[in-house]
Amino acid sequence: MRWSVFLVCAFLNAQSVRVYSEFARIDASGEVTAPEHPREILSPAIVRNGFTSFQVVVQVPKGTSYWLYIGQNPDDAVRVTMFRESGEKLEKVDLPFQGTSTEILWMDVWVDRAAPVRRIKIEPELNVAGDWVIYPMEARVMDATAPELRVPAGSAPAVDVMRSHLCGTMLDLRERESALTVRSSQFRNALQDTGLAANASKEALRRLFGACDAKEPEDPEWYLRIRDYLFRMR
């Protein structure tokens, strides 16, 4: 009996589903390489009339068949679109997603402009041979509402996009992705941030951002402190 319990526990521990920010760097094995201590994503703020993006990591032994669902409560509170990360490229996948190996997935969460300010559940649910592993995530729909934006083709880093807004530097749009990528999605999200920033205090944002010519910090999630400020605006 004890051996059977041990086998069940070992089986369940061999697979996991976790959620990270869009900026966390994750290797092919599903492990975070930077930052050393990634942000815990359990009650993230999400913006109305815009996208908030996350990375969903499913880790299973190779050859293990599974299904990944995204549960919502209330149902259809947001629109969720999933992509498989293949290097920098994003390949759209259907939900539920069926896999047989470790996958890094990009999750775009779109919230309608008229959505009520409230807490909602957006939970990745992993089913392996009838056993469930659920990542508990209760997102906070914020009052902050992104303006309507025309997003040009581009892939400039979020830090450069915000630097352009705060410091008046020219944004280099010459580098364009031929397909949907992690970089182009981050660029889209950063432009949403500058739309919100139009109604924010530049002095407050500059204090968060630092000197215009400062070297970009090594922590890839450093930029999230600016987004936190923007999402809390009313």
- The domains of the chain, with CATH numbers, are 15-145 (2.60.40.10), 158-231 (no CATH)
For the entire predicted model, the pTM comes to 0.91
Residue 140 has a pLDDT of 98
Q: CB 70: neighbour CB atoms within 10 A? A: 21
Residue 4 has a pLDDT of 37
Residue 176 has a pLDDT of 65
Mean pLDDT score of the chain: 91
Residue spans of the chain under pLDDT 70: 1-13, 174-178
Residue 152 has a pLDDT of 79
Q: Tens digit of pLDDT for each residue in 45-61? A: 999 999 999 999 999 99
Residue 177 has a pLDDT of 64
Tokens 């498989």 sit on residue: 84
Q: Give CA–CA dist 122/77, Å, rounded.
A: 9
Q: Tens digit of pLDDT for each residue in 149-188? A: 888 777 899 999 999 999 999 887 766 666 899 999 999 9
Residue 215 has a pLDDT of 84
Tokens 């470790």 sit on residue: 102
8 Å CB contact between 226 and 180: no
Q: Please tell me the chain's helix, strand, coil percentages from 3-state DSSP, rounded to the nearest 5.
A: 25, 35, 40
Residue 3 has a pLDDT of 40
Residue 102 has a pLDDT of 98
